[in-house]
Amino acid sequence: MTDLPMPSVLGYCDEWSVAAGETIRFRIGSLTRPRPYRAQLVRLISPESGPEGAGLRTEDVDAPLNGPHAAELRPIPAGSFVRVDREDAVAGLASWTVQALVQPMLRDREAQAIVSTLVAGQRRAGFALVVDAKGALAIHFADGTRISTGEAMAQGRWHHVAASLDATSGEVFLRQTPLPARGFDRPPAVEAAGHAPAGRLPASMLRIGAIGKPGPGPGHFGAWHFNGKIEAPSLADRALSPEEIRALAAAGSTMPPADCLRAAWDFSQGMSGTAVVDLGPRKLHGTTVNAPKRAVTGARWDGTEHDWRRAPAHYGAIHFHEDDLADACWPDTLAWTIPSTQRSGIYALRLDTEPGNPPFWITFFLRPPRGKANARAAFLASTATYSVYANYRARMAPSTVDLAFGALQQIDSTDMLAVVHPELGASTYDKHPDGSGVCHVSRLRPMVNVRPTGRLWNLQLDLCLLDWLEAQGFDYDVITDDDLHREGLSLLENYAVVMSGCHPEYWSGAMWDGLDAWLGRGGRFMYLGGNGFYWKVDYLEGHPGMIELRRAEGGTRAWAETPGEYLHASTGTLGGLWRRNGRMPNALVGVGFIAQGFDFATHYERTEASHDPRAAWMFEGVSEERLGAYGCALGGAAGMEIDCASTALGTPAHALVVASSTGHSKVMNLVVEEINSGFSGAYGGTWPAVRADIVFFETPGGGAVWSTGSISYVGSLAHDGYRNGISRLTATVLRRFLDRTPFEMPGNPA
Amino acid sequence: MPDSKPAIDATRLDLAREFRRNPFAKHSPELYALLEVLRGPAWNGNYVLVVLEAHRRYALAVKQPGGRPPVVLSNEIHASAADAEWAVFRRRWEAASGQKLEIE
């Protein structure tokens, strides 16, 4: 049953970090049919946190766009391919040969196009070289003629594929040739022949990895999307003989003889961008659509090289997926020019439809005017992490996740939109239908789980911090990861204190550099979360709003990156954990990810070090022995994902561990990057490192860092009307961090 | 030779009662051992909890392969996540043992 009431009008915004005085544009539509809706602009104050929190609170914002509207039907052009928008690509061809190297990864689709001039629903003459429903190589013509080898290609194996048409005889020749691979399987090459209508091809666009499909611009729609890798597709303007094709296949080459070369696309050029280069005389260059994965191993990759920049010939493939999505390409629907007096905060445009249907929230972040600060403290919204988690489908897929979580996963009908409408694109926690990991995400699409409702995680939990700041009367600005990535130190130097969210997991190098430089100049940072500074991401040049992530080598991974594909296409640098890239979270904030478990959260206990005069001040008025044994995030302040100090991993020697959590269960398991070979027994209660540490240390520039090492922490702030030890401790630290008096490094002469 | 023994010991109602008291607590070693069987691939049943009304109404659903949406078991509504956990425990117990779990 999928007829739970769901949000029926969705949307997203053009930029999600905007400043007062700027205009934000909303792109709103329905995936099913035109529908009426009401728009209401709100400021988000606290999330749907339940009885242990403040509960969902928003504040209406007067704006001209509030009120009833009509949403148009807006399809989403999901699926990646290469478009060659040159009408002379095949125009006038009577005899021809099309070739490619392919690594098919998925069957059970009507057809998956390798190279095509067809357009769905149109009968204009053309062809599509495809993997058919059986998984066999086939060629489909516009008049309905279909010729197939009838034998499935082995999934995951590279093949040379070719089809030719001789105009004089109308004969079609088709051959799929498995390329040599390690192991002892020896699938045979398969040939097929048939007849197709003769005639010259009309002017047509050409697609690699899909066929064309009409759809509203500016999106580029496709159909029959290929799931797998394609390398070195080529066109010849005559029918190569079967002997010529066999010889090329034996050599693993698709390059036509010079006398008939029409096009030969070389995917190993320009792997960081969208351009696709044709080596042929007509320069039929193409452009990738929807950010397929580039810098991926090709048919020639033999494991001797892992750096695509040094051996581009080994990386001549592109991996296409039917659910890749860079931009939903919806037109601007509503806009709001933000008054100069509008306060910084987290906002949303709430879209309400029929009674009983949940609303849809388009969340955005209002920063202070650029170059200015309206407060001495800033909340750094984890927009990189929010993006990476957007449209998380895997939580709804069969798995043994209950073993790792120690509880059932909880979803709601808004989450289910992501599986009911896979065209919304996935998160980097998901796999594509062909089993490969999702390594690109975009915010230019409706995001179903960046909202103040639903699972207490990421933004929802971060709103607990904002709610507390409001309740305690602290002034703050909201800034974002996206801002920090673009502006670096200059964004932060306006602030005395910066507070993270509960789970700032994904960081770009530029973000890290900015924070590091600011801390070196005396910044005071409150890391109020767990599992932060963990994965390396890059923002993609040429794809605004997109992030690249390769889950290389180790770590708590939703999927493991393909061997040979550990380097980002965008930057050519190693992806994966920051700790494997020479940047230790512990060195930056004193703690690093150590364990996760989701059965319950627990509390901290003070340490001897907390009585050191350097730290004792922060516990003034805090009398709880079990600090934080309450909260809306699994019932305690220390839980979900937790971090501990480790001088071996870079925690400064002078850092004070002022409190540590206790009482974790067997479900709170040590992270895999701390384990070299599998064993049991590394969990809460048995493994000393499995704990959340609250750590404090001073920095040479007069600043300081205070880290709580737990995702659950901020969920405890509102307990008992904000009158609790966690609230008091946090407030005391924040007040001291706002105080201009420099912190002194221990051992420094006064 | 196939193992014909039931996957769990259905006489250990004490463990079921322990779980029923608080599914989100630190459990005894024996209950953890039982849960590792019930939550493992053989018996977990691919359940997921669907929040119908936050903190008030929950339904069970079964996760589906192939990217399909979970199928909601609409005949069972629970007032708390703990109640829903117990319902799933009971289903898994009965599947693994072949016997009804007769406690409340």
> How many Å lie between the alpha carbon of B17 and the closest alpha carbon of chain A?
17
- Give the pLDDT score at A750: 47
β-pair partners for A447: none
CA A164 to chain CA mean position, Å: 40
Interface residue A410 vs chain B (CB under 8 A): yes
Interface test with A, best of B30, B63, B68 (most A CBs within 10 A): B63
Of A402, A407, A412, the CB nearest to B44: A402
Q: pLDDT for A616-661, tens place per residue?
A: 999 999 999 999 999 999 999 999 999 999 999 999 999 999 999 9
B28 touches chain A (CB under 8 A): no
What DSSP element (H or E) covers A412? strand A410-412
Closest chain A residue to the Cα of B73, Cα to Cα: A1
Amino acid identity, residue A504?
P
CB atoms within 10 A of CB A435: 12
Set of chain A residues whose Cβ sits within 8 Å of the Cβ of B65 = 397-398
For the residues of A523-554, what is the DSSP string, one character each?
-EEEE-SSS-S-EE-EEPTTSTTEEE----SS
Residue A347 burial (CB < 10 Å; 0-12/13-18/19+)? buried
Contact B27 A412 (CB under 8 A): no
A454–B51: do the CB atoms touch at under 8 Å?
A: yes
Q: Give contacts of A78 with chain B, Cβ < 8 Å.
A: none
Sequence-distant (≥ 6) Cβ neighbours of residue A620 within 8 angstroms: A732
The residue assigned the tokens 């196009």 is A113
3-state class (DSSP) for residue A41: strand
Q: Count other Cβ atoms within 10 Å, centred on residue B98.
A: 11
Res. A10: pLDDT tops 90: yes
Residue of chain B whose alpha carbon sits nearest to that of A399? B46
Q: Which 682-711 residues of chain A touch chain B by CB within 8 A?
A: 685
H helices within A421-488, ranges in order? 459-472, 481-487
Q: Which residues of A touch B80 (CB under 8 A)?
A: none
- Shortest CA distance to A142 belongs to which of A169, A116, A163, A164? A116
Q: What is the pLDDT of residues A81-122, one digit of tens each?
A: 999 999 899 999 999 999 999 999 999 999 999 999 999 999
Distances (CA, A) of B61 to A200, A245, A431, B84: 55, 53, 21, 11
- Answer whether A714 touches B (CB < 8 Å): no
Share of chain A above pLDDT 90, in %: 94
Q: How many residues does chain B have?
A: 104
Question: Looking at beta carbons, which pairs linking A140-149 to residues 24 or more positions away fall under 8 Å?
Answer: A140/A111, A141/A196, A141/A197, A142/A118, A143/A196, A143/A197, A145/A194, A145/A195, A145/A196, A145/A197, A147/A172, A147/A174, A147/A192, A147/A193, A147/A194, A147/A196, A148/A174, A148/A192, A149/A174, A149/A175, A149/A176, A149/A190, A149/A191, A149/A192
Nearest CA in chain B to A685: B26
Q: Which pairing describes strands A524-527 and A704-707: parallel, antiparallel, or unpaired?
A: parallel
Q: Inter-chain contact A453–B54, Cβ cutoff 8 Å?
A: yes
User: Is residue A302 pLDDT above 70, yes or no?
Assistant: yes
- Nearest CB among B35, B58, B74 relative to A1 is that of B74
A442 contacts A546 by C-beta, under 8 angstroms:
yes
Buried b (16+ CB within 10 A) or exposed e, A534-567: bbbbbbbeebebbbbbbbbbbbbbebebbebbbb
| Residue A749 in this model has a pLDDT that exceeds 60 | no
**Calpha distance B39→A265 (Å, rounded):** 49
Q: Choose the mutation target among A322, A408, A680 for the interface with B, i.e. most B CBs under 10 Å.
A: A408
DSSP 8-state code for residue A627: B
Q: In this structure, are strands A261-266 and A275-278 parallel, antiparallel, or unpaired?
A: antiparallel
CB-defined contacts A:B, below 8 A: 96
B39 touches chain A (CB under 8 A): yes
Quick: pLDDT tens for A478-515.
999 999 999 999 999 999 999 999 999 999 999 999 99
CB A75 within 8 A of CB A31: yes
- CA-to-CA dists, residue A216 to A76, A122, A325, A379, A545, angstroms: 9, 16, 16, 39, 21
Contacting residues of A for B72, CB less than 8 Å apart: 1-2, 4
Q: Is A321 helix (H, G, I), strand (E, B) or coil?
A: coil
The torsion angle over the Cα atoms of residues A411, A417, A422 and A426, rounded to 10 degrees, is -50
Q: Which residue has the tokens 């029918």?
A: A239
Structure confidence at residue A470 (pLDDT)? 97
Taking a C-beta distance cutoff of 8 angstroms, is the pair A158, A181 a contact? yes
Q: Chain A partners of B47 at a C-beta cutoff of 8 Å?
A: 402, 408
pLDDT at B4 over 80: no
Mean pLDDT of the A282-308 span? 97
The answer for A 45-84 residues in CB contact with B (under 8 A) is 48, 50-51
Q: What residues form DSSP beta bridges with A535?
A: A506, A577
The ipTM value here is 0.96
Residue A516 CB neighbours (<10 A): 15
pLDDT in tens, A158-167: 999 999 999 9
Query: Beta-strand (E) ranges in A213-340?
Result: 222-223, 228-236, 261-266, 275-278, 286-289, 293-296, 317-320, 334-337
Confidence of residue B24 (pLDDT cuts 50, 70, 90): very high
How far is residue A262's CA from residue A89's CA, in Å, rounded to a whole number? 8
Q: A452-467, pLDDT tens digit by residue?
A: 999 999 999 999 999 9
Residues of A in contact with B43 (CB under 8 A): none
pLDDT band at A524 (very low <50, low <70, confident <90, very high): very high
Query: Chain B within 8 Å of A579 (Cβ-Cβ)?
Result: no
The terminus-to-terminus CA distance of chain B in angstroms comes to: 37
Q: Locate the domains of chain B by residue range.
A: 13-97
Cα first-last separation, chain A: 70
Q: Is A62 exposed, middle or buried, given 0-12, 13-18 or 19+ CB atoms closer than 10 A?
A: exposed
A423 and chain B in contact, CB less than 8 A: no
Q: How far is B34 from chain A (nearest CA, A)?
A: 11
CA distance A580 to chain B (A): 32
Query: Which of the four pLDDT bands, split at 50, 70 and 90, describes residue A67?
Result: very high
Mean pLDDT score of chain A, rounded to an integer?
96
Could you tell me which residues come within 8 angstroms of residue A172 by beta carbon, excluding any fewer than 6 positions away?
A139, A147, A163, A164, A165, A166, A193, A194, A195, A196
Using only C-alpha atoms, chain A has a radius of gyration, in whole angstroms, of 28
Nearest to A625 by CA among A577, A672, A659, A655: A659
Residues A326-358: pLDDT tens digits? Answer: 999 999 999 999 999 999 999 999 999 989 899
The tokens of A389 are what? 């988690």
Measured in angstroms, the CA of B1 and the nearest CA of chain A are apart by 26
**Quick check: A575 and A635 in contact, CB under 8 A?**
no
Cβ distance A4 to B40 less than 8 Å, yes or no, reads no
Single out the residue of A300, A65, A79, A271 nearest to residue A179, CA to CA: A300
Sheet strands (E) in B1-104: 47-53, 57-62, 71-78
DSSP A698-718: E-TTS-EEEE--BGGGGGGTT
Integer angstrom CA distances of residue A174 from A190, A247, A657, A720: 8, 14, 69, 74
Backbone angles phi, psi at A203, to 5 degrees: -60, 130
B residues 8-27 near A, CB within 8 Å?
Answer: 23-27
The distance of B86 to chain A (nearest Cα, Å) reads: 11
- Interface residue A666 vs chain B (CB under 8 A): yes
Mean pLDDT of A565-589: 97
Interface touch B24/A419, C-beta < 8 Å = no
Helix (H) or strand (E) holding A57, with range, is strand A57-60
Report the residue from B40, B49, B64 with minimal CB separation from A410.
B49
CB A251 within 8 A of CB A239: no
3 state DSSP class of A197: coil
Q: Is residue B104 pLDDT above 70, yes or no?
A: no
CB-count burial class (<10 Å; 0-12, 13-18, 19+) for A623: exposed
* Rounded (10°) CA dihedral A3, A6, A8, A12: -140
* Matching residue, tokens 């289903």: B91
Q: Does A732 touch chain B if contact means CB atoms closer than 8 Å? A: no
pLDDT classification of A1: cutoffs 50, 70, 90:
very low
- Report the residue of B51, B60, B83, B92 to disrupt the A interface, i.e. the one with the largest count of A CBs within 10 Å: B51
Q: Is the pTM of this model over 0.95?
A: yes
B56 interface with A at CB cutoff 8 Å: no
Residue A494 identity (one-letter amino acid): N
Distance from B63 to chain A by nearest Cα, in Å? Answer: 5
Please indicate whether, in this complex, the C-beta atoms of B64 and A399 are within 8 angstroms of each other. Answer: no
Q: What percent of chain A has pLDDT over 70?
A: 99
List the Cα angle A582/A383/A365 in 5-degree steps: 145
Closest-CA residue to B68 (of A433, A744, A83): A433
Supply the DSSP symbol for A228. E
Nearest beta carbon to residue B44 from set A400, A416, A433: A400
Q: Within an 8 Å CB–CB cutoff, is residue B42 touching chain A?
A: no
pLDDT of residue B2: 52
Q: What CA–CA distance (Å, rounded) separates A659 from A607?
A: 5
Out of A4, A403, A413, whose CB is closest to B39? A403
Q: Which helix (DSSP H) or strand (DSSP E) does residue A405 occupy?
A: helix A401-405
Helix, strand or coil, per DSSP, at residue A501: coil
